[in-house]
Chains A and B, each alone.
Chain A
């Protein structure tokens, strides 16, 4: 019987497999950032051991960094200390750092792909759950905890049990105004925030195939929001075209050899998945979340479920969630006033996202009482946006284009949404307090967020495109 893409890559990375033990899996690329690495470096120090393969770990500062005045010292003392510690740790252990001010600095899941570090067939880990993003290239990529970061620094391997495999097929064509973020929010709304726990997902089908690499990254990025260990998409011409010529991508004869191998990376026709789910792209409308986990999403014209439609056991969590959001069961969201718009995060901060927003807002102005933050995913995205004049379009629209970082996705820096305010956000989590204590988040696509920026309320973007 044939193999799934996941199994092909996993099998080629198993260093030791012993009955009763998890597999020791070799890791090709390890990304680290300032928040989940200090305790791992400390662990190495306590054991008196070095980083085993320094060239296979890359570091950047993203979670804590301010998104204005990055040339100045970080004001907030604890953030500054954490970022400084990343600098001293990477220096002491010989790991390459793209820190603040470096032209490659940015959100870890944005810079890996844009630098050509992320490649098909790789195993990739990072102490960050959205590492699943890199799966868009046909890689096994997943988030890990700090003890595991230490394992990888110490041995370039990780101990893992092989997850089950799920295939999610999205057939047909997307309708106007519907983009990749809507696909993944739709899938999560159908299968819930725990619907893929224990699985590694392969996305397939015409609607996925027709997406650009950056749009595919948005899909894989949110695999974790349905509990999946990760998500991947078999590489194809779109993938190879994207990688070719990037800074760290193979060149010359190495490129030809690599390409020949990458072309073998697909799921065999007779391979078996543990679960197969099928969706039709034509059923998907622009999506928005109303609750406090990413599974609580609806089409923008639909209504929040009523209490009566739920099982008794689900009611307390559901009620708690809607109380937090200040929303009524059974109500609709269209026309709901928003206070903040955040376009950024490892889900939607790439150049295509910014272009999509710029195309839509060109010549328009933001609503008066809305604050709009655009936070590019990396220095390179920021530079490209300026080169294309996108910064001017944002400026004329009254949008605030900031500097790269994770920013208001998790509010570790100053970019917090004030208590009680509503933010329509292109990020990945609408958890309580995620964007700031008592902040309320509506997750949506960059297009829907841009529409809300212009109208000042939750809007069906299809009426404006």
Chain B
């Protein structure tokens, strides 16, 4: 599967809860893996499953009506721990886009580093998305990275979102930060030579 994408039309999964922290996205006891794979099955583990592993019927990921490659969540999504496992779990489950009215900083970086697009919209637009999905779970969202636009297809309501030009290029082309940093080797060495102490 190619990691990069420019354009996506998909239904969305709504979780209208604020301050969803990374401990909810992937609880600490699932951080013991030493690879990046397989975290999707424990995404939102304790909201999704009873302690005896039976699915909780009232949780949205267990409701077959809701599906798609877009997750929509309340404000301050991804707060708390820096665990990139949260982004891995979201990606591994199959989400490519997360929409919220506010993202925690570290999560936002982690998401972008895993080719998940965090789209920040206004509180008002987020409400519009939630009510559109409430009315019709099959409602589709259209994401265009090049144009930086997000559209609720059924209503035609559209908003633009911010993404910095560097990350946009990375996302569209599937580049990562290390490729760029490795290309700066000469500059890094000359910076080091210019400092007497390590601070």
Contacts and interface: CB of A to CB of B under 8 A. Distances in A.
Interface of A: 15-16, 20-22, 24, 26, 28-29, 35-36, 38-39, 42-43, 47, 49, 52, 56, 63-64, 78-79, 81-82, 85, 119-122, 127-129, 131, 139, 143-148, 150-151, 154-159, 161, 163, 193-194, 197-198, 224, 227, 229, 250, 254, 257-258, 261, 293, 295, 313-314, 316-317, 320, 410-412, 419, 429, 431-434, 437-438
29 contacts: A15-B191, A20-B164, A35-B31, A39-B35, A52-B188, A85-B34, A120-B199, A145-B83, A147-B113, A148-B109, A151-B181, A154-B178, A155-B178, A157-B184, A159-B181, A193-B79, A197-B103, A197-B104, A224-B106, A227-B79, A258-B199, A293-B79, A313-B127, A316-B16, A317-B17, A412-B28, A412-B31, A431-B21, A432-B46
A156 B46 CA distance: 37
Contacts of A411: 28-29
Given A38-B35, A227-B76, A431-B80, 9 more contacts: A28-B199, A129-B80, A129-B106, A144-B109, A147-B178, A194-B102, A227-B79, A293-B79, A437-B27
Contact of B82 (A56, A121, A128): A128
A39 to B, nearest CB: 5
B82 A151 contact: no
Contact of A317 (B18, B109, B123): B18
Contacts of A119: 199
Interface of B: 16-19, 21, 23-24, 27-29, 31-36, 46, 51, 74-76, 79-85, 87, 102-106, 109-110, 113-114, 123, 127, 164-166, 176-178, 180-182, 184-185, 187-188, 191-192, 196-199
A411 to B, nearest CB: 6
A129 B17 contact: no
Given A26-B188, A42-B35, A147-B176, A293 B17 contact: no
A432 B166 contact: no
A433 B197 contact: no
Contacts of A121: 199
B198 A431 contact: no
A131 B106 CA distance: 12
A143 B105 CA distance: 10
Nearest to A147: B113
B65 to A, nearest CB: 19
Contacts of B29: 411-412
Contacts of A224: 80, 106
A145 to B, nearest CB: 4
Contacts of A139: 199
Contacts of A52: 188
A22 to B, nearest CB: 6
Given A155-B181, A194-B19, A433-B24, A16 B34 contact: no
Contacts of B185: 155
Nearest to A9: B199
Contact of A147 (B28, B75, B114, B188): B114
Nearest to B190: A15
A166 B98 CA distance: 28
Contacts of A434: 23, 28
Contacts of B18: 314, 317
Contacts of B103: 197
In order of increasing CB-CB distance, the 9 nearest A-B pairs are A145-B84, A78-B32, A145-B110, A147-B113, A143-B82, A38-B34, A194-B76, A121-B199, A129-B82
B16 A157 contact: no
B84 A146 contact: yes
A412 B32 contact: yes
A147 B110 contact: yes
Given A150-B178, A154-B178, A433-B27, A194 B21 contact: no
Nearest to A86: B34
A229 B199 contact: no
A257 B32 contact: no
A16 B166 CA distance: 14
